[in-house]
Amino acid sequence: MASERIRWPAVVDRAREIAKSYEGGVTLRQVMYRLVSEGALPHTAPMYRRLSAQLGKARREGRFPGLIDTVREIHVPPAWPGADRFVAEMPGWFRLDRTEGQEHALYVAAEKDTLRQQLTGWLAYAGIPVLVVRGFGSQSHADVVRNRVTAGPRDAVLLVVGDFDCSGEDVERDRVARTGCWIRTERMLLTYEQVRA
């Protein structure tokens, strides 16, 4: 599919529908993957950049909703206008461990950061930790994960969400080997059966 034949107004309209269908927001990469899976765009780096430019233009013109940007953040320490406001907000932070009493501690690992917002949005209410591994992560991060898991009172199970490709499987193998703290791991998405269905 040559870029000359791409009808960008139709692609932007479909991308808008996709973005609005996600509760809690969506990333540009998720929109791109959906458009590729539908045959609307080829899966190339130049096409990803072109989609980014088209959606950015539509956003500036008020024709497209905001997308989740998991990389660029404003890092500001928390502050309050006074002690009264701080004390008033504290009860909203209180949370009991919702997993207390469960036989195992459950963790969910996402291979890509594009899923962080959705997974944390879905799992926060249940107190389930989400790990974003972003490929072959550092040993420092593996150590932090292992230390947290082994300090807990229960054995831990890891559920994995990742791409169905060789690198995705190798990232999973590497992460499990370097943390070495799980009694069981299970790939939830994507599996061979899901891809072939």
**Residues β-bridged to residue 88:** none
Rounded to whole angstroms, the Cα distance separating 79 from 84 reads: 12
Average pLDDT estimate for 140-166? 88
Helix, strand, coil in percent for the chain, rounding step 5: 50, 15, 35
pLDDT tier, 113 (very low <50, low <70, confident <90, very high otherwise): confident
**What's the mean pLDDT when you consider all of the chain?**
88
Over 70: is that where the pLDDT of 2 sits? no
pLDDT of res. 115: 82
Q: Tokens 């590729």 sit at which residue?
A: 36
pLDDT of res. 191: 73
pLDDT of res. 3: 46
Q: In degrees rounded to 5, what are phi and psi of residue 47?
A: -70, -35
Helix or strand holding residue 132 (H, E): strand 130-132
Give per-residue pLDDT as tens, 116-135: 888 888 899 899 999 988 77
User: For the chain, first and last CA: distance in Å?
Assistant: 26
pLDDT of res. 39: 92
Q: In degrees rounded to 5, what are phi and psi of residue 182?
A: -105, 140
Strands (E), the chain: 105-110, 130-132, 156-161, 182-189
pLDDT tier, 9 (very low <50, low <70, confident <90, very high otherwise): very high
Give per-residue pLDDT as tens, 168-194: 777 788 888 899 999 999 988 777 777
Give per-residue pLDDT as tens, 40-90: 999 999 999 999 999 999 999 999 999 988 777 777 888 999 999 999 999
